[in-house]
């Protein structure tokens, strides 16, 4: 059975949002908790990457903070490889919903990201070392461009995921889409991973 680590990328500075976006409430629940709940049915355990604290274990961006989402993916992959996982399923803290059809398409492809939202992806741990080397060498930080070179394919073109970049985005999502959100289940504690990341 494939062991999948869920990882919420939460290291952004949220300049357009103006405050801690991960904790912004949508339908009474923080965006970070919605993101964790969206991963829960598909993974064995979850972590949050790039925050100081979270309701699940936290790991560091790799090789250091400030590299954007690709550094978060690298951190999640490094942790997953060290903890015996086979792959990482990532989402972002500002993406509160993951359609089942998208997750199925990501897994079926073997190594893939959502065409319209590359922070949502399925990354085998075999990518951990190549990505770490790419970033350590100062390689560019575009997920799409690195993924194309690494053989990670885009899936579900045209599928636009709910995404919160500004307070207005959150208001629109709350008024138009919150009714379609399933109430997040209480998140069962995951086994504590090594915080050395």
pLDDT score of 123: 98
Strands 117-124, 87-92: pairing kind: antiparallel
Among the listed ranges 30-34, 158-162, 167-171, which one has the minimum average pLDDT value?
167-171
Residue 104, token pair as written in the block? 């199925």
pLDDT score of 25: 87
Q: Domain tally for the chain?
A: 1
Would you say residue 197 lies in a domain? no
Q: What is the pLDDT of residues 130-141, one digit of tens each?
A: 999 999 999 889
Would you say residue 48 lies in a domain? yes
Would you say residue 194 lies in a domain? no
pLDDT score of 165: 79
**What is the distance between the alpha carbons of residues 83 and 76, in angstroms, rounded to a whole number?**
10
139: CATH: 3.90.550.10
Would you say residue 83 lies in a domain? yes
Q: Model's pTM, two decimal places? A: 0.85
**What is the distance between the alpha carbons of residues 186 and 197, in angstroms, rounded to a whole number?**
25
* CA dihedral sign, ordered 91, 94, 95, 97: positive
Statement: residue 13 has pLDDT above 60: no
- Burial (CB < 10 A; 0-12, 13-18, 19+), residue 2, is exposed
pLDDT score of 193: 42
pLDDT score of 197: 39
Would you say residue 185 lies in a domain? no
Q: What is the pLDDT of residues 119-128, one digit of tens each?
A: 999 999 999 9
Angle between helices 69-82 and 128-136 (to 10 degrees): 140
Residue 88, token pair as written in the block? 């990482």
> Please, are residues 45 and 190 in contact by the beta-carbon 8 Å criterion?
yes
pLDDT score of 42: 98
pLDDT score of 15: 57
| Domain around 160 | 4-180
Would you say residue 191 lies in a domain? no
């Amino acid at each position: 059975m494939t062991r999948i680590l869920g990882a919420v990328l939460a290291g952004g500075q949220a300049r357009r949002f103006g405050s801690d976006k991960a904790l912004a409430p949508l339908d009474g629940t923080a965006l970070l908790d919605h993101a964790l709940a969206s991963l829960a049915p598909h993974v064995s355990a979850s972590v949050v990457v790039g925050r100081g604290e979270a309701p699940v274990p936290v790991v560091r961006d790799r090789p250091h903070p400030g590299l954007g989402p690709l550094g978060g993916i690298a951190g999640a992959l490094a942790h997953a490889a060290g903890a015996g996982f086979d792959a990482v399923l990532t989402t972002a803290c500002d993406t509160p919903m993951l359609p089942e059809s998208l997750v199925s398409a990501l897994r079926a492809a073997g190594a893939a990201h959502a065409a319209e939202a590359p922070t949502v992806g399925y990354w085998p741990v075999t990518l951990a070392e190549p990505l770490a080397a790419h970033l350590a060498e100062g390689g560019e930080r575009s997920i799409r461009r690195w993924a194309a070179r690494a053989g990670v394919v885009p899936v579900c073109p045209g599928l636009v995921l709910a995404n919160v970049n500004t307070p207005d985005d959150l208001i629109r999502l709350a008024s138009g889409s919150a009714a379609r959100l399933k109430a997040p289940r209480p998140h069962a504690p995951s086994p504590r991973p090594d915080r050395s990341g």
